Amino acid sequence: MIKDAFDLKFILDNLPKIIGALPVTISITLISLFFGWMLGLIFAFGKVSGPRWLREVLKLLTDILRGIPTVVLLYVVYFGLPQIVGSLTGASLDGWSKQTFVVIALALELGISSSEMFRSAYNSIRKEQIEAAWALGYTKIQRFLKVIVPQGLFVILPNLSSAVLSIIQATALVYTLGIYDILGKARQIDTNEAHVKTFEMYLAAALIYWALAGVVTVIFSQLEKRFGRGRKVVAA
């Protein structure tokens, strides 16, 4: 096998093919984020105001899942879940797509890590702000939507941003299950070329991930401006 010189043309020729796999990466990311944050809110609620036993269970779950590498969790869910469900209920999960298992694993991990973030954001909101809303006659839901969410969101935006980035990066692991996301596609092209374009294809994948991260960063810096109102003193 002879390694050729760096082949920029090969990258440019194949970039569209790899970008063609972008919807796979983005859809796994978005669905995992949605369910992960939902789960995170529920876990956070349990940690803040659940009964003692629930708080203990969630704490234990947090400690366990934090200690497991994402790729290991992915395999545990992919191979383990059908077995567990099968032996408990007799139901078969054969019909489930690989993406479903990926989303379950990523959402579980995100749910646990984001629950800590939501909890500290809630704790960061000053009691007086909530008391003011109470005295003005806000209902519980109005206090949540009008005071806690807007004020808490500003606190956690930097964390949300890095959570999105780490989920995007975690999706790169799905090629190990044979899903053709960005990395999977890049590797496939490299394989078809008898592995002589490995560097080129990984570089192409890196460029796409980097661009994706750039877009996420821009979106979140806009959001921070939007929710950071009143934080900075502007010259009168």
Least distance from C-beta 49 to other proteins, angstroms? 16
Report the Cα–Cα distance between both ends of the chain, in Å, rounded: 69
121 with 45: CB under 8 angstroms? no
**Residues engaged in binding other proteins (CB under 8 A):** 128-129, 131-139, 142, 146-147, 150-151, 154, 227, 229-234, 236
Least distance from C-beta 140 to other proteins, angstroms? 8
Output the six-digit token pair for 78.
């992919």
Least distance from C-beta 226 to other proteins, angstroms? 11
Q: Which is nearer to other proteins, 98 or 146 (CB)?
A: 146
Torsion 46-47-52-57 (CA) sign: positive
Please name which of 179, 18, 22 lies closest in space to residue 106, comparing C-alpha atoms: 179
Tokens 């796409």 belong to: 208
Least distance from C-beta 142 to other proteins, angstroms? 6
Least distance from C-beta 223 to other proteins, angstroms? 13
Q: Which is nearer to other proteins, 52 or 231 (CB)?
A: 231
Q: Which is nearer to other proteins, 136 or 215 (CB)?
A: 136
143 with 134: CB under 8 angstroms? yes
Q: Which is nearer to other proteins, 5 or 235 (CB)?
A: 235
Q: Which is nearer to other proteins, 91 or 136 (CB)?
A: 136
Q: What distance in Å separates the CA atoms of residue 55 and residue 8, rounded to the nearest whole number?
A: 54
Tokens 């779950």 belong to: 61
